[in-house]
């Protein structure tokens, strides 16, 4: 499919951003509403009748937030297993190496986490549990303009600078100091050298979690053809060579006033927010700053000129955003299409917050009589019917403050048992919230004491079905990322340099390099195993049974039941730990005897440099004479120690 957004002009880009943001605005509002409930920022007092408000206290239930965090932890415990397809049998070893490299790149606290902002997968999983839309962005560091070394400008010439053809000697000094108008500009060779050093001995890729509240997506026939984001970032976090982007504009910038003022005091200093945009298509990337518009709510101006925005061709073949959804609703409008794990909690929590707030206020003020309008039997004229507002029950501690009764009616205390039963409503609301929270079985607890194993298994199966779409969508996102990383690295000749970070795990102890020419396949399959607290012990028991009966190999059940990411490497460790130390001693003595026979002069000098082990002369292998009795003596006499044992005869 041709790229409809290739090499856009400034006006075309601006129109695309405006349309994209407008299409996703309703989705953004839905996410903000969910987050307000989760973060205990929803307005509860507005739902409480004024007569029941005797304090400013608001109750905010934390069940949604706790459930999202716990659910994110369960998803984060999934172990991704990478399978690379080898196109030829003799390339299997290289494909195995690719699998190991991918595991080191994408595992928790792996290379990507070390090279990027930490906790990327946790943030994605929280978004998936909260609103059903987790987004990864995986790019080469050189494709991120604010990270790359920029061209330098100066008024004094040196070997790395040349005359600037755009310099105007008749311009004012303050104008000359602006970017691009200095007397000299850095040579291309110098800039290329600084950028090459930027990648020297470094992993070339990075990833991050993108907040779904800031994005917009453009699709055609169901396929993503454009993906963008509009973000506010503090100008204080930009490097010095980027600060000139923030000059030369009288209108100022678009600030996210809903989030915070234009200038906020943080700690000992102030910081100013500026809005940036990114838009990626299948072949082009656009980045820049948005200026402020006081007339409309749309994006009406991009900073003019190439100084304020940039575009370049990238090599990914698709926008570098990878979506990992939660639950997807068919036939729904965009703003309700993606669901998190707890949509019922989003609807139940506001009611519970309101009832709990009313309950608190009633307890706070003590006994609170309820009054209702009743017919005044002494009134002889025709009595008009009450309207809806007049039938409302009124609660007050002072009868004198009751509103004036309409003709033919009088206020009367409601009899006991007729007033609204708040306790029953609260109990029902609490039960509904509890029923829609994270299942107890996922937390490693039974629903009730004494639950049978069969019941727990049924509950666990139901909980697993809730998790299953989240697992499948994460596998799809990881598969797409891994394949694109391999494909792009192979095409551009980028070596994957893996340098272990001490303390971040012991899977990789030494630096590893996967040369671009050694990438034999870019076809990847990712599966993940989510082990829940309630069934970890059961899986370990099943693994022991399979080992005892021999029905499955260790390579199979270690990955399926024990969450061993690299069974082959783990098996090597097990065998190494089990090796008999006496075999090491025998091997040393055998090599020593062979050395002394072939080079006696060098052997004599060599033995003076090391300390020889002190073996047991008669009991190697155990027993009175040893099962290999006399082995040491035999070696000393130049005879074989283990008879016809392979590889040990001298």
Could you read off the pLDDT of 454-496 as tens digits, one per residue?
655 666 666 677 888 998 999 999 999 999 999 999 998 888 8
CA dist., res. 110 & res. 498, Å (int): 9
Closest by CA position to 532, among listed 89, 73, 194, 137: 73
Q: Is 645 or 127 the better-scoring residue by pLDDT?
A: 127
DSSP code of 156?
S
Of 170-174, 181-185, 384-388, minimum mean pLDDT range = 170-174
Max CA distance (Å), the chain: 136
The string of pLDDT tens digits covering residues 438-448 is: 776 566 555 56
Nearest to 150 by CA among 185, 189, 191: 191
From first CA to last CA, the distance across the chain in angstroms is 70
DSSP 580: -
Task: Summarize the confidence of residues 306-310 as an average pLDDT.
Answer: 57
pLDDT band at 504, cuts 50/70/90? very low
Q: Which two tokens mark 581?
A: 């130390």
Dist. CA 146–CA 561, nearest whole Å? 44
Which residue carries 């108008």 as its tokens? 181
Kind of pairing, strands 153-154 and 79-84?
Answer: unpaired
Paired with 524 in beta bridges are: 84
Q: What percent of the chain is predicted at pLDDT more than 70?
A: 67
Per-residue pLDDT at 613 exceeds 90: no
Q: Which residue has the tokens 């206290």?
A: 57
If pLDDT is split at 50, 70 and 90, which confidence band does 383 have?
A: confident
User: Where residue 618 falls among pLDDT bands split at 50, 70, 90?
Assistant: very low
What token pair was written down for 175?
Answer: 């104008």
Most confident of 190-194, 223-227, 484-488: 484-488
* Burial status of residue 631 (CB atoms within 10 A of its CB: 0-12, 13-18, 19 or more): buried
Which has the higher per-residue pLDDT, 303 or 495?
A: 495
Of the given ranges (21-25, 137-141, 329-333, 618-622), which has the lowest mean pLDDT? 618-622
How far is residue 456's CA from residue 441's CA, in Å, rounded to a whole number? Answer: 7
Please state, in angstroms and rounded to a whole number, the distance separating the CA atoms of residues 43 and 26. Answer: 20
Which tokens belong to 496? Answer: 């994957």
How many other C-beta atoms are found inside a 10 Å radius of the C-beta of residue 333? 10
Q: What is the pLDDT of residue 264?
A: 45
Grouping H, G, I as helix, E, B as strand and the rest as coil, residue 583 is: helix
pLDDT of residue 231: 82
Residues 291-300 as b/e (b if ≥16 CB within 10 A, e otherwise) read beeeeeeebe
Q: How confident is the model at residue 641 (pLDDT cuts 50, 70, 90)?
A: very low
| pLDDT band for position 592 (cuts 50, 70, 90) | confident
The sheet carrying 409-413 orders its strands as 394-395, 370-375, 409-413
Q: How confident is the model at residue 630 (pLDDT cuts 50, 70, 90)?
A: very low
The pLDDT tens digits for 129-182 are: 999 999 999 999 878 766 667 677 777 778 889 888 777 766 555 555 444 467
The pLDDT value recorded for residue 648 is 35
- Decide: 154 and 182 in contact? Cβ < 8 Å: yes
Residue 417 CB neighbours (<10 A): 6
Tokens of 192: 């290329």
DSSP-derived 3-state class of residue 327? strand
Rg over alpha carbons for the chain, rounded to the nearest Å, is 36
The larger pLDDT score, comparing residue 54 to residue 448, is at 54
The residue with tokens 């399978």 is 83
The region of weakest confidence among 236-240, 313-317, 573-577 is 236-240
> 574 — phi, psi (to 5°)?
-60, -45
d(CA 42, CA 55): 17
pLDDT at 209: 94
For residue 223, the surrounding DSSP H or E stretch is: strand 223-234
- Return the structure tokens found at 358: 């009313």
The pLDDT confidence band at residue 293, using thresholds 50, 70 and 90, is: very low
Q: Greater confidence, 49 or 344? A: 344
Contacts of 34 (CB under 8 A, 6+ apart): 130, 131, 340, 346
pLDDT given for residue 171 in this prediction: 58
pLDDT above 70: residue 449: no
Length reported for the chain: 650
- What's the burial of 311, exposed, middle or buried (CB within 10 Å: 0-12/13-18/19+)? middle
User: What's the 3-state SS for 253-300?
Assistant: ECCCCCCCCCEEEECCEEEEEEEEEEEECCCEEEEEEEECCCCCCCCC
Give the least confident one: 211-215, 278-282, 445-449: 445-449
CA 372 to the chain's CA centroid: 55
Q: pLDDT digit string (tens) for 516-549?
A: 889 988 888 888 766 655 556 566 677 777 777 7
- 165 Cα distance to chain centroid: 46
Q: For residue 479, what pLDDT is reported?
A: 94
What CA–CA distances, in Å, run from 632 to 23, 328, 408, 615, 637? 84, 72, 120, 8, 9
- What was the pLDDT predicted at 620? 44
Strands (E) located in 152-222: 153-154, 161-163, 184-186, 205-209, 215-220
Cα separation, 610 vs 50, whole angstroms: 91
Q: What is the pLDDT of residue 132?
A: 93
Q: How confident is the model at residue 453 (pLDDT cuts 50, 70, 90)?
A: low
* Cα 321 to Cα 211: distance, rounded to the nearest angstrom: 12
What DSSP element (H or E) covers 529? Answer: strand 524-529
- Decide if pLDDT at 513 tops 50: yes
- Per the prediction, the chain carries an average pLDDT of 75
Q: Report which of residues 574 and 531 the model is more confident about.
A: 574
Residue 103 to residue 357: CA distance in whole angstroms = 50
What is the predicted pLDDT for the residue at 643?
40
Residues 265, 253: contact at Cβ < 8 Å?
no
143: nearest Cα among 23, 35, 255, 283:
283
Predicted local distance difference test score (pLDDT) of residue 76: 86
In sequence order, the 6+-apart residues with CB closer than 8 A to the CB of 517 are: 493
Average pLDDT score over residue span 106-113 = 86
CA distances from 579 to 75, 548, 575, 640 (A): 37, 21, 6, 22
Return the pLDDT at 248. 36
Which of these, 457, 372, 452, 385, lies nearest to 415 by C-alpha position? 372
Q: What confidence score (pLDDT) does residue 301 get?
A: 47
- Position 364 pLDDT exceeds 90: no
CA dist 82 → 96, 324, 481 (Å): 10, 17, 12
Q: Tell me the mean pLDDT in the region 370-394.
A: 78
Please give the model's pTM, rounded to 2 decimal places: 0.69
Beta bridge partners of 209: 136
Q: Provide the token pair at 103.
A: 């595991």
57 has pLDDT over 80: yes
Q: How confident is the model at residue 208, as a pLDDT?
A: 92
CA angle 258, 261, 262 (to 5 degrees): 120
Residue-level pLDDT at 441: 55
> In this predicted model, which residue has the larger pLDDT, 314 or 458?
314
Pair 156, 186: CB distance under 8 Å: no
Crossing angle of helices 422-436/343-365, nearest 10°?
Answer: 150
Report the distance separating Cα 11 and Cα 605, nearest Å: 83
Count the alpha carbons within 13 Å of 8 in the hemisphere toward its beta carbon. Answer: 23
pLDDT at 227 over 70: yes
- For the segment 552-577, the average pLDDT, to the nearest whole number, is 72
Looking at 158-172, 254-268, 374-388, 521-535, which range is the least confident one? 254-268
Which pLDDT does position 475 carry in this prediction? 93
- Percent of the chain scoring above 90 in pLDDT: 20
Q: Which of 232-236, 389-393, 629-633 shows the lowest mean pLDDT across its residues?
A: 629-633
- CB atoms under 10 Å from CB of 126, counted, come to 23
Bridge-based pairing state of the strands 269-280 and 263-266: antiparallel
């Amino acid at each position: 499919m041709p790229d409809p957004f290739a090499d856009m002009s400034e006006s075309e880009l601006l129109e695309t951003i405006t349309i994209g943001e407008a299409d996703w605005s309703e989705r953004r509002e839905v996410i903000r509403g969910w987050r307000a409930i989760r973060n205990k920022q929803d307005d509860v007092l507005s739902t409480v009748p004024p007569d029941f408000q005797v304090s400013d206290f608001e109750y905010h239930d934390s069940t949604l937030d706790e459930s999202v965090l716990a659910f994110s932890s369960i998803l984060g415990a999934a172990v991704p297993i990478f399978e690379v397809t080898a196109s030829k049998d003799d390339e299997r070893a290289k494909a195995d190496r690719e699998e190991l490299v991918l595991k080191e790149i994408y595992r928790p606290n792996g290379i990507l986490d070390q090279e990027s902002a930490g906790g990327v997968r946790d943030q994605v999983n929280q978004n998936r549990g909260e609103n059903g839309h987790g987004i990864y962005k995986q790019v080469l560091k050189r494709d991120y303009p604010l990270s790359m070394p920029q061209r330098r400008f100066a008024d004094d010439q040196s070997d790395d600078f040349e005359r600037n053809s755009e310099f105007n000697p008749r311009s004012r000094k303050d104008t000359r100091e602006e970017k691009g108008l200095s007397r000299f500009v850095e040579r291309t060779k110098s800039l290329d050298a600084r950028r090459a050093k930027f990648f020297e001995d470094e992993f070339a890729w990075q990833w991050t979690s993108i907040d779904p509240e800031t994005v917009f997506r453009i699709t055609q026939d169901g396929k993503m053809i454009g993906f963008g984001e509009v973000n506010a970032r503090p100008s204080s976090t930009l490097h010095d060579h980027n600060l000139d982007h923030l000059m030369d504009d009288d209108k100022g910038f678009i600030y996210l006033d809903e989030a915070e003022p234009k200038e906020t005091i943080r700690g000992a200093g102030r910081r100013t927010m500026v809005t940036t945009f990114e838009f990626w298509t299948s072949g082009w990337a656009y980045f820049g700053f948005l200026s402020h518009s006081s007339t409309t709510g749309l994006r009406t101006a991009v900073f003019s000129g190439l100084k304020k925005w940039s575009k370049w061709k990238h090599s990914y073949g698709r926008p570098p955003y990878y979506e990992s959804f939660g639950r997807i609703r068919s036939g729904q409008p965009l703003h309700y299409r993606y669901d998190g794990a707890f949509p019922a909690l989003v609807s139940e929590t506001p009611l519970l917050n309101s009832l709990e707030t009313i309950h608190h206020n009633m307890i706070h003020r003590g006994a609170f009589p309820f009054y209702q309008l009743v017919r005044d039997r002494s009134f002889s004229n025709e009595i008009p019917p009450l309207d809806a507002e007049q039938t409302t029950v009124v609660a007050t501690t002072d009868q004198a403050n009751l509103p004036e009764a309409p003709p033919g009616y009088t206020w009367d205390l409601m009899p006991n048992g007729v007033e609204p039963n708040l306790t029953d409503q609260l109990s029902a609301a609490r039960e509904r919230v509890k029923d829609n929270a994270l299942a107890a079985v996922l937390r490693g607890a039974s629903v009730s004491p004494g639950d049978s194993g069969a019941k727990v298994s049924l509950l666990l199966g139901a909980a697993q079905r809730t998790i299953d779409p989240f697992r499948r969508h994460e596998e799809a996102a990881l598969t797409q990322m891994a394949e694109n990383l391999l494909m792009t690295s192979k095409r551009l000749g980028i070596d994957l340099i893996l340098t272990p970070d001490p303390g971040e795990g012991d899977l990789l102890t030494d630096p590893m390099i996967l040369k671009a020419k050694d990438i034999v396949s870019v076809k990847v399959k990712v599966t993940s195993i989510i082990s829940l607290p309630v069934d970890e012990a059961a899986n370990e028991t099943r693994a022991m049974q399979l080992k005892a009966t021999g029905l499955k190999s260790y390579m199979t059940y270690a990955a399926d039941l024990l969450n061993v990411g690299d069974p082959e490497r783990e098996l090597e460790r097990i065998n190494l730990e089990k090796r008999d130390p006496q075999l090491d001693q025998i091997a040393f003595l055998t090599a020593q005897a062979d050395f002394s026979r072939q080079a006696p002069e060098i052997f004599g000098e060599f033995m003076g440099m090391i300390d020889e082990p002190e073996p047991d002369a008669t009991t190697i292998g155990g027993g009175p004479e040893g099962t290999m009795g006399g082995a040491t003596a035999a070696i000393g006499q130049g005879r074989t120690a283990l008879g016809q044992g392979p590889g040990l005869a001298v």
